[in-house]
Structure 1
């Protein structure tokens, strides 16, 4: 009998977590998170990690999986997923994967070459370039050295740019060489059922703004304050955390931090939508927030069409 990996993508705050839990309960299965921020143990409120009640409803994997102090890549993620999935398929015919990190999803479904280890010297050299010349220079450098990746990548994300240039400088080869190798075999032990969730842009932005306010009420400031000794880590150069550094230096107000997080999260969601729309061949399902039951029925109906 075939095994099925139901893969649910989409932008932050669109409602992926709630739907995935309902689907997992329906199919009596588990959830694999494909979120490159929720994977860290120390990041909780700012990455909208599922609540303890939600985690107790359904077994989750790759939530609070590693420390922010550890190096972890999409290659590591897909390796671990492919070690785990065969075990899960012994007990379940359907497994749910859900998240907004398209690169993780792509790695699992299409394979990924092992990216060489980068020397500390190269990492420091690239970091110095960024500090001295800014993101515009990184973007131009990537465009010249690897146009294939440049036109696919989230070039507003400095972490992606730094990672690509580290590999290029270390190996002398385009970063895209390691992402699109014809020798890579796609996994054949499961059938993917792919979809991504979207909604009206105004509704999504409203949800994002409200979610950020809820994060503040839940204690995000204290969470970030406790992480101040680690603010130099790349894992903390992310929305919801990086906006606080000037606040703790006394240079901006709390209201300014909130507005900046809301703005950056909206931009992040917009980039995610662009990726899922143009870089991933999957069914787009537009959610209607006022009719959550209708959303569930529509998604479940689509999935069931692809199951025996």
Structure 2
């Protein structure tokens, strides 16, 4: 049976390494669902797979876009399903990996039939965001759809802009639209989550940010200074260093803010994944062996 093995977990937990190890064990390929790693100019700040890692297993959806390219989650769903159709012709199992929760959900469950973004609405909402701040968008969404407001990542402006735009276009609550049935997938899904104590996750995040700085994150951000208003760059690791470059923050403070905001994102990921019922958890200390054991136990692969 065709099976998509989806590897999830918080930022910095070791998903990339496990995905590569499993791809090598199963002689298959990897589909990324990390929406920040789509952009080729953001390799360091998104912890995209290195050239060495990319050579160890074939990856799809890593560095295929420019930050200047418009790319929606709906486009990703369509493109990922096409790639999977092709891969399943020659592989019984395919690996998917990434910490972008909605992008994984788009592939394994499917999106709802939502209208394309309305340019006028997007422009108007962008102006509200820039002039009145994120809090105004949060207030608008809470008034229009209290149910969705309780679920949405309130710190992600793209989610807020999209939901409000859809409601303006359809006149319906976003939560009602996304509760409608979706198309069945032609493959099975087996989800593996890597877990660790929260203090370990936070320590790993802090260490990874320090390593990113050593690897040249500041220089990467400097090269993108002319693009800082693009949606792709409104993300952790970039917004903080843009503020340093504008003279608003000291560098040490900006780095600490990256760590803090990365930990906050990890906390949201934990909350999201803990609500899911079909994730098989493995320890960060021994993820490959535990994953292979799970796959054997559930008859996903034959015993080694």
Specify if TM > 0.5. Answer: yes
Q: Following TM superposition, by how much is the alpha carbon of 1:179 offset from its aligned partner in structure 2, in angstroms?
A: 3.1
Report deviation, 1:108. Answer: 1.0
The 5-angstrom pairing of residues 1-308 of structure 1 reads 2-182=1-181, 184-187=182-185, 189-278=186-275, 280-289=276-285, 294-306=286-298, 307=300
Q: Partner of 1:180: helix, strand, or coil?
A: coil
Q: Distance in 2 between matches of 1:75 and 1:230?
A: 24
| Secondary structure class of the residue paired with 1:42 | helix
TM-score by length of 1: 0.93
Q: What CA distance in whole angstroms lies between the structure 1 residues aligned with 2:27 and 2:216?
A: 33
User: Matched residue pairs, number?
Assistant: 300
Kept in 2, the 8 Å contact 1:75–1:113? The answer is: no
Conserved 8 A contact 2:195-2:282: yes
- Partners of 1:46 and 1:10 in 2: CA distance: 18
Aligned equivalents of 2:5 and 2:42: distance in 1? Answer: 26
Could you tell me which runs of 5 or more consecutive residues in structure 1 were left unpaired when the two chains were aligned. none
What is the CA–CA distance in structure 2 between the aligned matches of 1:303 and 1:148, rounded to whole Å? Answer: 37
**What is the distance in 2 between the residues matched to 1:66 and 1:288?**
31
Question: Any conservation in 2 of the 1:194–1:282 contact (CA below 8 Å)?
Answer: yes
Task: Provide the aligned C-alpha RMSD in A.
Answer: 1.6
Question: 1:159 touches 1:237 (CA, 8 Å); kept in 2?
Answer: no
Alpha-carbon contact 1:109-1:186 (below 8 Å) kept = no
| Residues 195 and 284, structure 2, Cα contact 8 Å, conserved in 1 | no
Distance of 2:113 and 2:226 partners within structure 1:
31
Q: Residue 7 of structure 1: SS of its match in structure 2?
A: strand
Unaligned ranges ≥5, structure 2: none
SS at match of 1:54: helix
TM-score (structure 2 length as normaliser) = 0.94
Give CA deviations for 1:83-142 in whole Å, capped at 9, x if unaligned.
111210111111000110110111111111343223332112111222233222222221
Kept after mapping to 1: 8 A contact 2:167/2:174: yes
